[in-house]
Chain A
Amino acid sequence: MERTTIDLWFGAFVLAGFAALLVLALKVGNLGADNARATYRIEARFDNIGGLKVRAPVRSSGVLVGRVADIRFDNERFQATVVLALDARYGFPKDTSASILTSGLLGEQYVGLDAGGDDKKLAEGDRITITQSAVVLERLIGQFLFNKAQEDGAKK
C-alpha cells in the first residue's frame, strides 16, 4: 500500500488525541490509582452524617486509607449507615472509632478513623460501633446559647 502525507497526518492527529485522553485519564482523573487496589468493606452507623457524600475520603492520621462506598438510611434504627471501602493494605483494630470531620473551615467532609487497642482486626462486613456524628453548626450554636443562658441563670 502506498504511503501518503495524509496518512502521516491522520496517524499523528489520532495519536495526539488519544495521548490527550490518556493524560486526562491518568494525570487529571487519577484513573487506576485508587480504583484498582483491593478493598474490604466495613459499616458504621451515624446519627447524623452532615454533608458526607459517596466517594468522600476516609482518613486515618490524615492519610487516605479508603473511600465512602455507600450511604443508606436504616429505617429500623433511624440512623444513617455508611459503608466504607478500606484499602486492603491497612488493617484496623476491632475497637476503632469513626467520626465525620471537615477538612479546613469550609472544606469537604470526610470520615476519620482513630485506631483502638484491640488485637483483632476489622474484617469484611464488620461494623464500627464507636462513632461520632458530623458537627452541625446550628446545633453547636444552639448548645452554646443554652449553656450561656444556664451560666447567666446560675450567676443570678
Chain B
Amino acid sequence: MLERARRTLARIGHNFIDQVWRVGAMARFFVILMAASGTSLRRFRLVMREVYFSGVLSLIIIVVSGLFVGMVLGLQGYETLQTYGAQESVGVLVALSLLRELGPVVAGLLFASRAGSAITAEIGLMKATEQLTAMDMMAVSPMSRVIAPRFWAGVISMPLLAAIFSAMGVFGGFVVSVVILGVDGGTFWSQMQSAVDFRYDVVNGVIKSFVFGIAVTVIATFEGFDAPPTAEGVSGATTRTVVSSSLVILALDLVLTALMLRGDR
C-alpha cells in the first residue's frame, strides 16, 4: 500500500520534472533557432517552399471552416437577437466575435492540427531515418536548413490564414443573415462599421494570430526535433504537438485578451 503510493508519487514527480525539462529545452531550442534564422531568411526560397506546404495547402480547410463558422454565428445570432428586435446587430456580433476571438483561435487550432502535425511528423521522420545526422556530416546545419524555414513559414502564414478565416466568416454571416434570413444589408454593414474599431479589433486580432503562429511552430518543430527516432516516438510527438499547441493557444488567448481589453469600451 505504502509502496504503491510512493511509486505513484515518484511517477507524478518524474512527469513534472520531465515537463519542466521540456520547457527549458524548448526555450534553448528557440534561442538556437533565432540564431540560425539568418541563413534561411537570406535563402528565402526555402521559406517560400514551406509557406506553400503549411500555408497554401491549409487554405481550403481555413476557407471552408471560416465560411461555416460565420454562417453558424449568423444563424445563432439572428435567432437570439430577434427576441429583442435587434436582428440588424447580427453583423456586429459576427464581426466582433470573429475578429477578436474565433478568427485567430480557430484558425490557430486548425493550423496546429493541419500544418503543425505535418511539420512534427516530417522532422521526426527525418530524424528517425538519420537524414538530420547526414546533413550534419555534410556540414549543413539542420537547424538553418530544415527547422528555421519551417518556423518562419508558420510565422508568415498564420496571420494571413487568420485574416482569411475572419473575412470568410464575415462573408458567411452576410450570406446567412442578409441573403437568406432577410436582414437589411445597409444596416448590417453600417452597424458593423460603427462598432468595429481598426486598432482595437482588427490589429489586436492580427497580433494574436502572430503570437499563435510563433507558439504553434516552435512547439511543432521542437517536438519533431526531440522525437525518439522510432515509429512510436514520431507518432507520440505528433500527438503531443497537436495537444500542447491547442492548449497553449487557448491559454495564450486568455492572457492576450486580458491584456488587450480596455474597460472603457
How far does the alpha carbon of A19 sit from the alpha carbon of B160 in the complex, in Å?
9
Known: A13-B55, A13-B59, A53-B265. A24 touches B163 (CB 8 A): yes
The reply to whether the CB of B159 lies closer than 8 angstroms to some CB of chain A is yes
How far does the alpha carbon of A107 sit from the alpha carbon of B4 in the complex, in Å?
63
Residues of B within 8 A of A78 (CB): none
Within 8 A of B (CB), among A23-72: 23-25, 27-31, 33, 35, 53-55, 57, 71
| A-B residue pair count with CB separations less than 8 angstroms | 88
Of chain A, the residue at the smallest CB distance from B196 is A29
Stretch in contact with the other chain, from B45-53, B221-229, B240-248: B45-53
The reply to whether the CB of A152 lies closer than 8 angstroms to some CB of chain B is no
Within 8 A of A (CB), among B170-186: 170
The reply to whether the CB of B56 lies closer than 8 angstroms to some CB of chain A is yes
How far does the alpha carbon of A29 sit from the alpha carbon of B167 in the complex, in Å?
11
Choose among B86, B159, B164, B168 the residue with the greatest number of A CB atoms under 10 Å from its CB: B164
Known: A28-B99, A28-B192, A33-B193. A17 touches B160 (CB 8 A): yes
Known: A20-B166, A57-B194. A7 touches B84 (CB 8 A): no
The reply to whether the CB of B197 lies closer than 8 angstroms to some CB of chain A is yes
The reply to whether the CB of B118 lies closer than 8 angstroms to some CB of chain A is no
Among B45, B56, B170, B265, contact of A13 (Cβ-Cβ < 8 Å): B56
The reply to whether the CB of B215 lies closer than 8 angstroms to some CB of chain A is no
What is the distance, in angstroms, from B100's C-beta to the closest C-beta of chain A? 12
Among B55, B56, B194, B202, contact of A25 (Cβ-Cβ < 8 Å): B202
User: Is B84 a contact partner of A20 (Cβ separation < 8 A)?
Assistant: no
Residues of B within 8 A of A53 (CB): 264-265
User: Is B193 a contact partner of A54 (Cβ separation < 8 A)?
Assistant: no
Residues of B within 8 A of A25 (CB): 198, 202
Of chain A, the residue at the smallest CB distance from B167 is A20
Choose among A19, A30, A31, A54 the residue with the greatest number of B CB atoms under 10 Å from its CB: A30
How far does the alpha carbon of A53 sit from the alpha carbon of B265 in the complex, in Å?
7
Residues of B within 8 A of A137 (CB): none
Residues of A within 8 A of B249 (CB): none
How far does the alpha carbon of A25 sit from the alpha carbon of B99 in the complex, in Å?
11
User: Is B95 a contact partner of A28 (Cβ separation < 8 A)?
Assistant: yes
The reply to whether the CB of A146 lies closer than 8 angstroms to some CB of chain B is no
A contacts with B: majority SS:
helix
Choose among A17, A31, A35 the residue with the greatest number of B CB atoms under 10 Å from its CB: A17
Residues of B within 8 A of A104 (CB): 86
The reply to whether the CB of A145 lies closer than 8 angstroms to some CB of chain B is no
Residues of A within 8 A of B86 (CB): 104
Residues of B within 8 A of A28 (CB): 95, 99, 167, 170, 192-193, 196, 202
Within 8 A of A (CB), among B137-175: 156-157, 159-161, 163-164, 166-168, 170
Residues of A within 8 A of B49 (CB): 6
Among A9, A31, A106, contact of B52 (Cβ-Cβ < 8 Å): A9
What is the distance, in angstroms, from B263's C-beta to the closest C-beta of chain A? 10
The reply to whether the CB of A14 lies closer than 8 angstroms to some CB of chain B is yes
Residues of B within 8 A of A9 (CB): 52, 56
User: Is B99 a contact partner of A24 (Cβ separation < 8 A)?
Assistant: yes
The reply to whether the CB of B201 lies closer than 8 angstroms to some CB of chain A is yes
User: Is A30 a contact partner of B196 (Cβ separation < 8 A)?
Assistant: yes
Residues of B within 8 A of A54 (CB): 264-265
Of chain A, the residue at the smallest CB distance from B157 is A13
Residues of A within 8 A of B99 (CB): 24, 28-29
Known: A17-B164, A29-B196, A54-B265. A24 touches B202 (CB 8 A): yes
User: Is B201 a contact partner of A29 (Cβ separation < 8 A)?
Assistant: yes
> Mind listing 17 A-B residue pairs with CB under 8 Å?
A12-B56, A16-B59, A18-B160, A19-B167, A20-B166, A21-B163, A24-B163, A28-B99, A29-B197, A29-B198, A29-B201, A29-B202, A30-B194, A53-B264, A53-B265, A55-B197, A57-B194
